[in-house]
Structure 1
Amino acid sequence: MSSPIRPRWQKVATAISRYPTVWILLLTILVIIAIWPVPTLLVQSGRLSETDRLKAVADTRSGVIATLTALAGAGGLAYTIATYRLGVADRLIERFENAAAQLGHRNETIRLSGLLAIAQLADESRHQRQACIDVICAHARLSSSRQSSSPSRAAALRVIIDHLRSDARVSWSGHDFDLSNIAVVEADFHGLDLTGGSFSFDGATFAVSGPDIEPWLDETVSFAGTKFAGANVTFRGATFGTECRINFDEAEFTRGRVCFDHARFEAGAVSFRAAKFGPGCAVTFDHATIRDQAELSFTDADVTGPGLSFAWTDFAESQSAGKVAFQQATFRGPIAFDHAIVDRVIDLSRAEWDDATMRLDHAEFRSGQLDLRFARGTGATISLTDAERGAGQIMLSEESASLFRTTGYARPADFFGSDVWPPTALSTPQAT
């Protein structure tokens, strides 16, 4: 980690300190010239008598001396201020280097002291704050590689979380946090306000079984109630594993981007219950893999704006209790399953559709089902361009069949149960 850049005035101070004799000699010559010959040249004799001329020269010289004295005082004050600032910068750099060195110590207590010292420095110096955050994040990532450092990892996460809460004494919101490839067993990110900057969990692992995790624990990582309001938050390539419960319940996605692209949901549960997906935030699960023991829930979620994207997602066949559920969710914006592989039940039953769009373009229904029974609302459009049915099916009830119209496929009845498609007592949805 490189030290923060020193102020520009340090270059001047360095030049003066390197060649002091030259600078003193040059300054002395300039002062002598200003005091002796300059006043004589400034006073023109003209009609002045010799006495008046000498008096004018003396007065001018006195003025020059007074001016030089004032300038010398101002210069001395400026130099004192510059020296003080240089000393402060040197002390900050020294504190930074000492605290960073403590983070690499074998003793856990010394590592914790270094962590707190880095955090204190970040609070005091806005200019060094990002550098301090980078060191804290690097420590958290490094601590994930060995079991003995799990307390250091947890402490680093607590420091970051405490500075992102709305009641933080000094807020670090708007800065960049790189927690890629970290192992997160248990952490409480609930109620954070992520208004800017970036937050990366790329390649992270959440509560996978390992030597430092007891197999009977039911670990939770909570983002409940967190406001994603402009930050770029990524879980790209992250793994959600055994004994893992990730909680995004009642979180608000209003601006920015939240990316789960290429993530692997191996087991455990990830919940977005009652989460709100607003018009300014894109939430993507593109190229993700959802294994048979994983549970992904959007129950009671409210989806508007850019909506949700599961393009190229692999919904693996599930023989266990794992499920993907959008029960009673409200869709005012699109939800995309383009190029997805559907090998399990995706439960959208009792969802409300208000002129929303479900894209299933190029999707492959191998053996799974898309459950749209008991739908409510004003209706939705299902796009089936180049979709492949296989042994899968889209399930409708007679009450909900009339809410949906299809586009992009000549024989949409191939995807729906014959008992409800086309509906008998209800208006027939039109294939476009």
Structure 2
Amino acid sequence: MKPATITVAVSGLLLTLSIGWILGPGAPWWLTHVDGVHGLQGDQLAAALDAIRGRALAVGTGLAALVAVFYTARNADTARRTFQLGQRGHDTDRYGKAAEQLGHVQAPVRLAGLYALEQLAQNTPLLRQTIVDVICAYLRMPYHEPLPGDRHTRIRAAQRTARARVPAERPAGRDAREEREVRLTAQRILADHLRYREPPKTRWWRAADPDPRFWPGIRLDLTGAVLCDANFVSCRIAEATFTGATFNGDAKFGGVVFTGAAHFDTASFTGDAEFGEARFLGAAEFTSATFRGAARFGGAAFERGANFGFASFEGQAGFSEVVFGGHASFGIVNFGGNARFTGAIFHGNAGFAAATFTGLSGFVEAAFHQQAMFKGATFTSATSFDRATFDGPADFAYTHGAEHVRLHEASVARPADTHRWPPGWRLESEPNGHAVLSAVGPGGSAYPR
């Protein structure tokens, strides 16, 4: 028996004995020694003793009620704990069975396991991150997309079987196309519960109810995963690791919010990569990533550092109106197609050292608030910095193809800083202390605009 229970029991026994004594022979003693009343006789004495016994009875009744409330609350708490333990055991059993289904050879069984895990996570918030980790682990398993010829091969095999009138044997292992459907379902479950929807507007005195399907604070670890037609549009993810992942088909991350770090280093995007209006509140890592299709980051915001070093953009690279809050690293990046940074804002250092710009490129009206480093960059097509603003030092030393670079009406806030411009450009001072770049030809004439 617990010490608290013993204390309550002993206290209750003593109070019961005391009240019983007062109701019996102790009433006269209480009247004389506690209330200090002396000399009562007859009816007055009887009335005084009845009053004392009434008070004692009221106190006893109140104490009994308190004891009853205490034990009722204690029993309710015990029942609640017992129910929670039973529920946890039930949830653990459901979790184990659903996770076991993911390893089944039949696709419908694996799908049933995914839906069971989704329902369990929806009803049990404490298990959500664990279940998401299981689904991510499933997507990290080795997988190869079905070849285009697989369907025709199966059709021809079915036709031969029908002509021979021999019962078809189901091939051992998992069917590639069925597995693709299972993986698409797993991706859809993750996206559906990470997609943040603004709650509907309501009265000013009542807060709007949050979306019950949204799972906040979820981390994704899809390192090395093969993802098919990934769609995380408008999702809100605490931390995301897509290091070494392969995105087959188009990858849609438009409007996504990464509240923590987002790792896409060494990832491969085989189709278009859509990150328009995305927000990266933590560090964004795209080191050595490969973009085979168009990469669209228009309107995105990188609150902290953005690292695209050694990345390869084989298609169009769109970074128009992007805001880089920290250091933006594009060192040794290969821009195989057009690269657009129109209206981009670089609050930190902008590093494009040794980058290669193969297609038409533009930094029109871009704002460089710190250092703009283009040292050793290669320009093989027209690249415009028209009306760009340079608040810090700019370095275009050792660039290749400098004749393709235009800096018409580019503004320099501190002309006295150490700047290294491409050949053929000079600073013209303005009354406000700034300077504007203008092009001069071999004879001092301006290049045509």
Q: Which amino acid aligns with 1:323?
A: G
Matched, 1:277 2:300: yes
Contact 2:250 2:271 in 1 (8 A): yes
Match of 1:260 among 285, 293, 296: 285
- Tell me the SS of whatever aligns to 1:185: strand
Residues 374-385 of structure 1 aligned to structure 2 (within 5 Å)? 374-377=384-387, 379-380=389-390, 383-385=393-395
Contact 1:199 1:232 in 2 (8 A): yes
- Tell me the SS of whatever aligns to 1:340: coil
Tell me the distance in 2 between the aligned counterparts of 1:354 and 1:410.
Answer: 17
Match of 2:405 among 370, 390, 396: 396
Residues 113-132 of structure 1 aligned to structure 2 (within 5 Å)? 113-126=112-125, 128=126, 131-132=127-128
Match of 2:54 among 53, 56, 59: 59
Query: What TM-score, normalized to structure 2?
Result: 0.66
Residues 70-219 of structure 1 aligned to structure 2 (within 5 Å)? 70-101=65-96, 102-105=98-101, 106-107=103-104, 109-126=108-125, 128=126, 131-147=127-143, 153-167=183-197, 169-172=211-214, 174-194=216-236, 198-207=238-247, 219=249
- Tell me the SS of whatever aligns to 2:373: coil
Q: Which amino acid aligns with 1:348?
A: S
Q: Structure 1: give runs of 5+ residues left out of the alignment.
A: 1-18, 208-217, 428-432
Contact 1:103 1:110 in 2 (8 A): no
Tell me the distance in 1 between the aligned counterparts of 2:422 and 2:7.
Answer: 95
Residues 323-402 of structure 1 aligned to structure 2 (within 5 Å)? 323=337, 325-326=339-340, 329-334=342-347, 336-338=349-351, 340-345=353-358, 347-349=360-362, 351-353=363-365, 355-357=367-369, 359-361=371-373, 363-365=375-377, 368-369=378-379, 373-377=383-387, 379-380=389-390, 383-385=393-395, 388-389=397-398, 391=400, 393=402, 395-397=404-406, 400-402=407-409
Contact 1:357 1:381 in 2 (8 A): yes
Tell me the distance in 2 between the aligned counterparts of 1:134 and 1:178.
Answer: 11
Matched, 1:289 2:310: yes
Matched, 1:310 2:329: yes
Match of 1:240 among 257, 268, 279: 268
Query: What TM-score, normalized to structure 1?
Result: 0.69
Tell me the distance in 2 between the aligned counterparts of 1:305 and 1:344.
Answer: 20
- Note closer, same or farther for the CA distance 1:138–1:70 as it changes in structure 2 (3 Å cut): same
- Tell me the SS of whatever aligns to 1:353: coil
- Note closer, same or farther for the CA distance 1:416–1:382 as it changes in structure 2 (3 Å cut): farther
Contact 1:271 1:296 in 2 (8 A): yes
Tell me the distance in 2 between the aligned counterparts of 1:362 and 1:270.
Answer: 23
The farther-off stretch of 33-42 and 138-147 is 33-42
Residue by residue over 1:347-400, the C-alpha shift from the partner in whole angstroms, topping out at 9 and shown as x without a partner, is 433x431654584438333xx217664554465467345x65164536234xx4
- Tell me the SS of whatever aligns to 1:71: helix
Give 1:222 deviation, angstroms. 0.9
Q: Which amino acid aligns with 1:395?
A: H
- Tell me the SS of whatever aligns to 1:170: coil
Q: Aligned-residue CA RMSD in angstroms?
A: 4.1
Tell me the distance in 2 between the aligned counterparts of 1:25 and 1:306.
Answer: 64
Tell me the distance in 2 between the aligned counterparts of 1:227 and 1:144.
Answer: 22
Residue by residue over 1:178-211, the C-alpha shift from the partner in whole angstroms, topping out at 9 and shown as x without a partner, is 22415142244354153xx61312424123xxxx
Tell me the distance in 1 between the aligned counterparts of 2:48 and 2:129.
Answer: 69
Give 1:77 deviation, angstroms. 3.2
Give 1:71 deviation, angstroms. 1.5
Contact 1:100 1:114 in 2 (8 A): no
Higher RCO (C-alpha under 8 Å, 6+ residues apart): 1
Contact 1:370 1:394 in 2 (8 A): no
Contact 1:346 1:371 in 2 (8 A): yes
Contact 1:237 1:260 in 2 (8 A): yes
Q: Which amino acid aligns with 1:302?
A: E
- Note closer, same or farther for the CA distance 1:68–1:357 as it changes in structure 2 (3 Å cut): closer
- Tell me the SS of whatever aligns to 2:265: coil
Q: Structure 2: give runs of 5+ residues left out of the alignment.
A: 144-173, 198-209, 427-437
How many residues of Structure 1 are paired with residues of Structure 2 in the alignment?
Answer: 368
Residue by residue over 1:320-360, the C-alpha shift from the partner in whole angstroms, topping out at 9 and shown as x without a partner, is xx335116x223445854373224437433x4316545844
Contact 1:369 1:393 in 2 (8 A): yes
Tell me the distance in 2 between the aligned counterparts of 1:190 and 1:341.
Answer: 33
Give 1:142 deviation, angstroms. 4.0
Match of 1:251 among 277, 280, 304: 277
Q: Which residue of 1 aligns with 2:18?
A: 37
Tell me the distance in 2 between the aligned counterparts of 1:171 and 1:422.
Answer: 62
Contact 1:164 1:173 in 2 (8 A): yes
Tell me the distance in 1 between the aligned counterparts of 2:384 and 2:372.
Answer: 20
Tell me the distance in 2 between the aligned counterparts of 1:425 and 1:335.
Answer: 35
Tell me the distance in 2 between the aligned counterparts of 1:178 and 1:59.
Answer: 69
Contact 2:99 2:117 in 1 (8 A): no
Matched, 1:47 2:60: no
Tell me the distance in 1 between the aligned counterparts of 2:385 and 2:357.
Answer: 20
Q: Which amino acid aligns with 1:422?
A: V
Structure number with bigger Rg: 2
Contact 2:388 2:411 in 1 (8 A): no
Q: Which amino acid aligns with 2:234?
A: L
